[in-house]
Amino acid sequence: MVPAESHIGRGFQKHVMSGVQKAMILLMEAYFKYTRREGKKYTLTKGELKELLQKELGDFIANSKDPKVIDKIMNDLDSNKDGQVDFTEYVALLGAVTITCRDFFNGTKAN
């Protein structure tokens, strides 16, 4: 099985990618960048998740006063309690962060 990330962009490159398509590629590339460091190739261990959060979302993690923020995120994310975060759980996290970010920029919860 050819690793997804090696031909992710190619699937879209036949034409100019839209903003949403670029975002999807960026999210997949970021995920695969960290899943290969240790443990299973296609899931994130706690260590890989921590590195991803610190490097990709450093501001959010750094601004959090809670030293256990990553443990809590891992605990919330790892819905099937296998000690791994899979792609679906990762997308759920980034969806939540994106919504939080939109609310932050919006000041209030826009209707």
- Residues making contact with a second copy (CB under 8 A): 1-2, 4, 7-8, 11-12, 18-24, 26-30, 33, 40-43, 52, 55-59, 86-88, 91-92, 94-95, 97-99, 101-102, 104-108, 110-111
For a second copy, the closer of residues 72 and 102 by Cβ is 102
Alpha helices, H only, the chain: 4-7, 19-35, 46-56, 58-63, 69-77, 87-106
Tokens of residue 64, six digits: 């959090």
CA dihedral 93, 95, 101, 105 (to 10 degrees): -170
For a second copy, the closer of residues 48 and 86 by Cβ is 86
Minimum CB separation of residue 103 from a second copy in Å reads 9
39 touches 46 (CB < 8 A): no
Minimum CB separation of residue 77 from a second copy in Å reads 13
